[in-house]
């Protein structure tokens, strides 16, 4: 969505609306703003812009001036495989948005059911290899925090486990860095292990698959995974128009979980948008 770097941008501030605001929001999402690209420069966009200016070492004005535009356009996309829109979707689904992250997810938490103690952007310690944990978080967490979290690797979580870790806070941009640099590339690799090389799929379709695998893992056997297996078979057969319905069919598994049911619907919509 970003405009060519050589095209000058208008100075934008709160109250602005339109396509150029959408471009600004898309650029802010490159650095983890988690904004909806709705073209409305409201309080959320202003707050994200102030945060970006702070990260850039620029004057924190909440106004998109020449220097801010230049810095944002110089930032890389968070992934070279799936679009920023899809990265933003996955992170928003995992953490519930920036405000929710700061209030509820910045500390170790237990999502319930089969999960372990979870930190950052859906980083479930139950399903992490010790060597990955060390490589992912060394230099991000303090040695004391690493020591406190290691005993939870490979173990199911509990309310008591997270209560003992309640003093720990992981700032969002630390979690974003680990997700973009470490967890997301691993998730993309795992998605290709399940569904093959995604290079020939539309970018948003790749994003829908990565979201699914990041949320559910790579297992394809058993009745609870029949739709995930069917997706693999549809892709192999070139029947891409049949995939979205499999995302929607998975909702049978969570009759009481509105969040997961909505996520599958959104992934189906992303797949259809990708095909369009």
Q: What is the pLDDT of residues 219-251, one digit of tens each?
A: 999 999 999 999 999 999 999 999 999 999 999
State whether residue 138 is helix, strand or coil: strand
State whether residue 258 is helix, strand or coil: helix
- Residue 153 CA to residue 147 CA, distance in Å, equals 11
| 46 within 8 A of 105, measured Cβ to Cβ | no
C-alpha count within 13 angstroms, C-beta hemisphere, residue 268? 18
Candidates 35, 99, 85, 89; CA nearest to 64 is 35
Q: What percent of the chain has pLDDT over 70?
A: 97
Q: Residue count of the chain, please give it.
A: 276
pLDDT over 80 (residue 53): yes
- Residue 87 CA to residue 210 CA, distance in Å, equals 9
How confident is the model over 135-152, as pLDDT tens digits? Answer: 999 999 999 999 999 999
In this prediction, residue 8 carries a pLDDT of 79
In this prediction, residue 6 carries a pLDDT of 46
Query: 98 — phi, psi (to 5°)?
Result: -65, -45
Note the pTM of the prediction, 2 decimals: 0.92
In this prediction, residue 193 carries a pLDDT of 96
Mean of per-residue pLDDT scores for the chain: 95
Provide the 10 A C-beta neighbour count for residue 103: 11
pLDDT interval class at 198 (50, 70, 90): very high
End-to-end CA distance of the chain: 16
Candidates 7, 56, 3, 58; CA nearest to 25 is 3
Question: CA angle at residue 166 from 165 to 167, to 5 degrees?
Answer: 95
* Tokens encoding 266: 């959104």
In this prediction, residue 4 carries a pLDDT of 47
Which residues does 34 contact at the CB level (< 8 Å), separation at least 6?
A: 48, 88, 91, 92, 95, 97, 98
118-119 and 123-124 beta bridge pairing: antiparallel
How confident is the model over 159-168, as pLDDT tens digits? Answer: 999 999 999 9
Candidates 116, 123, 101; CA nearest to 162 is 116
Continuous segment of H or E residues that includes residue 100: helix 98-100
More confident position, 240 or 257: 240
Q: What percent of the chain has pLDDT over 90?
A: 95
How confident is the model over 110-119, as pLDDT tens digits? Answer: 988 789 999 9
Mean pLDDT of 29-37: 96
Listed by start position, the domains of the chain span: 19-74, 77-98+171-276, 107-170
| Matching CATH number, 77-98+171-276, of 1.10.10, 1.10.3470, 1.10.150, 1.10.530 | 1.10.530
Mean pLDDT of 99-124: 93
- Residue 251 CA to residue 259 CA, distance in Å, equals 10
């Amino acid at each position: 969505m970003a405009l060519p770097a050589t095209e000058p941008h208008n100075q934008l501030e709160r109250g602005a609306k339109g396509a150029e605001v959408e471009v600004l929001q898309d650029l802010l999402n490159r650095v983890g703003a988690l904004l909806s690209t709705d073209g409305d420069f409201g309080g959320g966009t202003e707050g994200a812009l102030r945060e970006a200016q702070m990260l850039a070492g620029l004057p924190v004005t909440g106004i998109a001036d020449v220097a801010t535009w230049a810095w944002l356009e110089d930032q890389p996309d968070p992934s070279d495989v799936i679009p920023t829109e899809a990265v933003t979707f996955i992170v928003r689904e995992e953490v519930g948005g920036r405000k929710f992250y700061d209030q509820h997810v910045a500390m170790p938490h237990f999502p319930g059911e089969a999960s372990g103690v979870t930190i950052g952007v859906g980083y479930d310690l139950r399903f992490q290899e010790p060597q990955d944990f060390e490589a992912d978080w060394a230099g991000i967490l303090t040695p004391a925090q690493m020591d406190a979290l290691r005993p939870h690797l490979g173990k199911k979580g509990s309310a008591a486990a997270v209560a003992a870790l309640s003093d720990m806070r992981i700032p969002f941009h630390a979690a974003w860095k680990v997700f973009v640099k470490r967890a997301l590339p691993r998730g993309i690799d795992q998605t290709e292990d399940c569904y093959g090389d995604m290079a020939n799929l539309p970018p948003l379709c790749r994003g829908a698959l990565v979201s699914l695998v990041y949320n559910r893992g790579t297992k394809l056997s058993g009745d609870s995974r029949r739709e995930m297996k069917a997706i693999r078979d549809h892709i192999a057969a070139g029947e891409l128009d049949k995939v979205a319905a499999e995302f929607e069919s998975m909702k049978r598994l969570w009759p009481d979980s509105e969040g997961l049911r909505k996520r599958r619907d959104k992934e189906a919509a992303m797949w259809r948008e990708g095909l369009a």
